[in-house]
Amino acid sequence: MLVAMCLAMPTPSFAANHREAPITALDRAADITDWYAFVSYDDGSKVTFILNVDGLQDPGNGPTYFPFDPDIVYSMKVDNNNDAVEDVTFEFRFQTEIRAPGVFTSYVGAGTGITAPGNAPAALDGTAQAGKPVVPPAVTSLDGAGSAGLNLRQNYTVTMVQGTGATAVRTDLTGGQKLFVVPANIGSRTMPNYAALFKQGIYSLGNGVRVFAGTVDDPFYIDLGGTFDSLNLRGMFTSGVTGVLTAAQDSNDTANIAPDSVAGSNVNSIAIEVPISMLVQGGKKLPATDPHATIGTWGATYRPRVTVRTAPDETQSPTPDGTYRQVQRMGNPLINELIIGVGSKDRFSMSQPKDDAQFASFALDPVLARVLNAIYGIAIPAPPRKDLLPLVTYAPPIAAVGTPPGPVSDLLRLNTGVNPTAKASRSRLGLLAGDAAGFPNGRRPSDDVVDISLRAVAGVLAGAPFNGFPYNALGDGVNVNDNTLGETFPYEAPANSGLRVLVPPPAAPAPTPPKNLGSYDCVRNPNSCT
């Protein structure tokens, strides 16, 4: 499980961890697509965790869209004593209410409401319908009068768990508030000010804790087509060699030269911002040089071991047996996707980080590195790949010198003593570009984990001759998300609209500079890219 071995070899689906294992391909609501952990940009005393699930959502795919599953426990876990076992956990559980069972869609609304016209036929019982309400007002709030059109509405609870097992201490952080989920972005008629709804979904729980849950634009970005065509990465690359970026292309964090295959897709997101003092040993923010400043983080989803679904009766609901089993977990991006063999992916998904030594054979001589060697002819470090081991233990350059390394485990490690990088100095390449607050020191939504991982698996961490050209210029040509990410909590962009135009109108003159190949329209209609 080596954090950096992460670009691509042919698998059924790819986009960070979007349906990467058989068990999650069949259970998309429990599938963790991405896990983020970083020191909050606007408050260095806090950490933000983001757990994204149920990816590659088509924004217009109604009528029920993509609610969170009330049977699933969505968990965020923190190890603060270097043993790869959770010491602090945040659990999220969702409830669903159907407010108008006879209505055919989950969301409906327009203007100030629409009544039946004068020529409306009578009802089955002969009752006149003219002038009676048919369509509720447009959705302008998550609760109250402006929420009448939210037929399927979800709320959730947040519980902090300290410790594990029978001695664990559980604290309800909800504080009596009703926390509502931000729904999918249906379109401008139903939700004319979706940005306002998005902001309404941010709740303060006291003691410096904020939460958000809802549908958002998927912040992950990658050229899936070039990746799966046997690493046939495309674009205007150095000397005509695909996959090797020019210096100008590599330094551009604002434009793409290859299609972003995830552009326009939505994902369900849960985010929490908490003070660092709640996470680390000692109960206060520590300097980056302190061995206790670095935490290990991961997300996990759990389902009841057995669920009996009753007859389709509106008064009945699924009956779980009360015993929950882990469906999926994710620490570093792309590990299960590209390192673990297909025959072991489900076992990896359901196992615990402390037991990851059982998967060591996949890491010490990764197939992906040999694919790079075979296709591009570049030399690669010889196994065992010890150059990557510091990325799966508590070790420099992420953890301070003297930090107990702990067992080899797939945890996204974050040195909470490293202050956030200002936007002007932030680099999509994180630590590889000298941005100490970026991946693999935690992970921010803007971090280009594909390019970082491609370079690491090729050998840039192994020293000369692997730390120079072309190893330090490998990339897929997708450098930025299609929507602008936020600079404040919850840091992601509002969901794409279901009314979004998929194909652009005919024949506009070619723009200058050339059209951004990472755009949503380009991905769905390649003829518009030329």
How sure is the predictor about 229, in pLDDT bands with cuts at 50, 70 and 90? confident
Q: Is residue 9 very low, low, confident or very high in pLDDT (cuts 50, 70, 90)?
A: very low
Tell whether 6 is covered by a domain: no
pLDDT tens track for 293-344: 999 999 999 999 887 766 665 555 555 666 899 999 999 987 777 778 788 8
Residue 211 located in a structural domain: yes
Q: With a cut of 50, say whether residue 521 has pLDDT above it.
A: no
216 and 186, same structural domain?
yes
CA angle 329, 224, 368 (to 5 degrees): 65
The two three-digit tokens of residue 510, written as one number: 């070619």
Q: How confident is the model at residue 212 (pLDDT cuts 50, 70, 90)?
A: very high
Of 117, 148, 179, which residue is a domain's last? Answer: 148
What does the pLDDT average to over 496-514? 60
Does the bond joining 470 to the residue before it have cis omega, within 30 degrees of 0?
yes
Could you tell me where the beta strands, DSSP code E, fall in 99-151?
114-115, 133-135
Which amino acid type is present at position 262?
Answer: V
Q: Does residue 169 carry a pLDDT above 50?
A: yes
Are residues 511 and 459 part of one domain? no
* pLDDT above 70 (res 511): no
Burial (0-12, 13-18, 19+ Cβ within 10 Å), 524 = middle
Residue 483 banded pLDDT, cuts 50, 70, 90: very high
According to the model, what pLDDT value does residue 14 have? 36
At position 209, the amino acid (one-letter code) is V
The answer to whether the Cα torsion of 397, 400, 403, 409 is positive or negative is negative
Beta bridge partners of 48: 38, 273
Parallel/antiparallel/unpaired status of strands 266-275 and 32-39: unpaired
Predicted pLDDT of residue 71: 94
Q: Is 2 contained in some domain?
A: no
What are the pLDDT digits (tens) for 254-276?
Answer: 999 899 999 999 999 999 999 99
Check residue 117 and give its pLDDT: 96
Residues 144 and 279 in one domain: no
* Number of folded domains that form the chain: 3
Assess whether pLDDT exceeds 50 at residue 206. yes
Exposure class string for 83-108: b at 16+ Cβ within 10 A, else e: ebbbbbbbbbbbeeeeeeeebeebbb
Q: What is the pLDDT of residues 30-47, one digit of tens each?
A: 999 999 999 999 999 999
8 Å CB contact between 518 and 263: yes
17 belongs to a structural domain: no
Phi, psi torsion values for 495, nearest 5 degrees: -60, 150
For residue 236, tell me if it sits in a domain. yes
Torsions phi, psi for 463 (to 5 deg):
85, -175
In angstroms, rounded to a whole number, what is the distance separating the alpha carbons of residues 311 and 206?
A: 42
- Print the domain residue range for 167: 22-108+149-417+424-499
Q: Pick from 290, 385, 287, 285: which is nearest to 3 by CA?
A: 385
- Quick check: helix, strand or coil at residue 479? coil
Between 233-237, 277-281, 350-354, 359-363, the lowest mean confidence (pLDDT) is in 233-237
Q: pLDDT class for 513, splitting at 50, 70, 90?
A: very low
pLDDT digits (tens, 9 = 90+) for 353-374: 999 999 888 878 888 888 889 9
Domain shared by 39 and 115, yes or no? no
pLDDT > 80? residue 398: yes
Cα gap 191→199, rounded to integer Å:
13
Distance CA 299, CA 447 (A): 18
Could you tell me if residue 254 is inside a domain?
yes
pLDDT at residue 390, rounded to an integer: 75
Tokens of 340: 């673990």
* One domain for residues 298 and 407: yes
In a domain, 30, yes or no: yes
Distance CA 23, CA 328 (A): 8
For β-strands 169-172 and 179-180, DSSP reports them as unpaired
Nearest to 393 by CA among 375, 406, 374, 412: 406
Does residue 410 form part of some domain? yes
450 and 376 in one domain? yes
Mean of the per-residue pLDDT values of the chain:
87
**H or E element, residue 56:** strand 46-57
State yes or no: pLDDT of 5 exceeds 50: no
Of 92-101, 281-290, 455-464, the one with minimum mean pLDDT is: 455-464
With a cut of 90, say whether residue 377 has pLDDT above it. Answer: no
State the pLDDT at residue 502.
54
Q: Are residues 301 and 210 in the same domain?
A: yes
Residues 262 and 121 in one domain: no
Q: What share of the chain is helix, strand, coil (3-state, %, to 5)?
A: 20, 20, 55
Same structural domain, 329 and 437: yes
Q: What are phi and psi of 245, to 5 degrees?
A: -80, 150
* Percent of the chain predicted with pLDDT > 90: 68
183/144 same-domain check: no
Domain co-membership, 220 together with 278? yes
Mean of pLDDT values over 196-214: 98
Question: Are 133 and 276 part of one and the same domain?
Answer: no
| Biggest distance spanned by C-alpha atoms of the chain | 85
